[in-house]
Structure 1
Amino acid sequence: MTEVLYCNLCGTRVEHRIPDGDHLPRHLCPSCGHIQYFNPRVIVGCIPEWEDGRILMCRRNIEPRFGLWTFPAGFMELDETTAQGAARETLEESQADVEVGDMLAVINVPYVSQVYVVHRGRMRSAHHAPTPESSETRLMSESEIPWEQIAFPTVYHSLRFFFADRASGERRIHALDLAHRPRRPRDREVSTGDPPPV
């Protein structure tokens, strides 16, 4: 649980206990009664596809998983939809202008308290370029995907869903629970920084 010492409303030292009518310990202010809740983070992203069938991938220029590959994704902001967040993240990470399409996958990652919402996307132009978050951006065919250098399990599974659907001609919404932390070091999930959001 996130460690909080003081109430974010009145500054009184909080108590960590189960409030009346609740079932889990919370950070409760004994002075003003305010309860500070902590909920899972939502990560939004998309797999941007160019008209020739290649998809846009980004090499991470930030931790965690520096130097490994992902599609554009990041933490959802307030006052935006998942599609708007995915479009924003794509622009921030690759300079690409993308039309975000239907949902591809919802992946729960409870061991880091994250939920990933991944969309399909269509690039409006072929333009893409590195950014402070991505040292390299590249359009790749399925055969060019560096599967051994994928940053997070969520990215790996989403790409597999995407290519399987495209091969079958179906556009499904996939649901996956990654309930256990991966054991292999190259698949290890990290709970800090950008994901991309597993």
Structure 2
Amino acid sequence: MTTDNLEPEFARRVPEDDNMERSVCTRCGFIDYQNPKIVVGSVAVAGEQILLCKRAIEPRKSFWTLPAGFMELKETLEEAAMREAQEEACAELAIDRVLATYSVPHISQVQIMFRARLINPETIAAGPESEAVGLFNWSEIPWTDLAFPSVYWALKQYDQSKDNDDFAPFTNPPGGL
């Protein structure tokens, strides 16, 4: 190795004034923080029907989910929720309010779910990450084929709050992750 090689070399150590082991560049001291990812989505409704997307990608391919996904840089929460609905279901949303925030530490995620109104129910269609999309009445939701626990939680918490505009956002239910 030559001395003019400026590629960073990282080692795991606890930086000064910190209490957690991190990847630190041995050349310049840069700390490569690894932080949770933020997932944003929505329970989008048209009347009494709820928009669900059948996943075309792993994890949980072919299971049903709410339109949701990872935030991009320089996006607001609301922009991310609307983008994900557009990408997954060609759906246009009017965001109502935050429904819930979930902590999912075993996969380093924070999930933020909104209540939303579906503006274009007649033109929803599967986007590249969805095998299918549909509008479901409560009794038609494929409960045994939901992709993730947070989808179940958000649907149940939406049902609890759908007629109420004055509630604190929900969190992980007791016994949840």
Q: What's the TM-score once normalised by structure 2's chain length?
A: 0.91
CA-to-aligned-CA distance 1:150-172 (integer Å, 9 cap, x gap): 00001110100001212xx2243
1:176 aligned counterpart, secondary structure: coil
Q: Kindly indicate whether the alpha-carbon contact (under 8 Å) linking 2:153 and 2:173 is maintained by their aligned counterparts in 1.
A: no
Are 2:92 and 2:118, in contact at CA under 8 Å, matched by a contact in 1?
yes
Offset at 1:12? Answer: 2.6
Give the ranges of 4+ consecutive aligned residues of structure 1 lying more than 4 Å apart after TM superposition.
Answer: 177-181
Q: 2:89 aligns with which of 88, 94, 98?
A: 94
Distance 1:63 1:174, change over 3 A: same
Q: Which amino acid aligns with 1:21?
A: D
In the other structure, the counterpart of 1:112 is: 107
Task: Kindly indicate whether residue 145 of structure 2 is the aligned counterpart of residue 143 of structure 1.
Answer: no
Please identify the structure whose Cα radius of gyration is greater.
2
Give the aligned partner of residue 3 of structure 2.
Answer: none
Give the RMSD, CA atoms, in angstroms.
Answer: 1.6
The residue type paired with residue 28 of structure 1 is V
Write the distance in 2 (CA, Å) between the matches of 1:180 and 1:162.
Answer: 17
Give the match for residue 47 of structure 1: 43
Question: Secondary structure of the equivalent of 1:159?
Answer: helix
Aligned residues between the structures: 169
Following TM superposition, by how much is the alpha carbon of 1:131 offset from its aligned partner in structure 2, in angstroms?
1.6
Structure 2 gaps, min length 5: 1-5
C-alpha contact 1:83 1:101 (8 A) present in aligned 2 = no
Output the CA distance in 2 between the equivalents of 1:94 and 1:134.
Answer: 7
2:61 maps to 1:71 = no
Identity over the aligned pairs, expressed in percent?
37
Give the drift of 1:134.
0.6
Matched, 1:170 2:164: yes
TM-score, reference length from structure 1: 0.81
